[in-house]
Amino acid sequence: MALRDWLPATATPATPATLGRESRLSVATVAIVAVAESANEGAQPDVATPVQAEELHALIPLAFPGISATDAAEVLAVASADPEGALTSFRALAADERERRQHEG
């Protein structure tokens, strides 16, 4: 029996992120899956406005440097279910990344 057989569906995606080294993408994946799971439980998800979608699209590569186009599209699609939460998180991640680059350079 695998570990996933013992965990509820919402915990299963978190397992790889917590077992491996921490990365922004794995943490974001866990958060995104949590949003998707809550949306699947009958909660009515928000829908991103065009302005929010544009900002999310611009923030994704800043918050997750090196993200592939495929992953960025998936992040955008799921983040659009909770645009306010995603914008708050992605703005903070982008600011942290900017600060990290300034300290390196």
* Whether the predicted pLDDT of 67 surpasses 60: yes
Q: How far apart are the first and last CA of the chain?
A: 49
CA distances for 91 relative to 13, 37, 41, 56, 60, angstroms: 24, 23, 27, 9, 9
Separation in Å, CA 56 to CA 10, 13, 22, 28? 24, 23, 23, 13
Please write the tens of the pLDDT for every residue from 10-60. Answer: 444 443 444 444 555 555 555 555 555 555 555 555 789 999 999 999 999
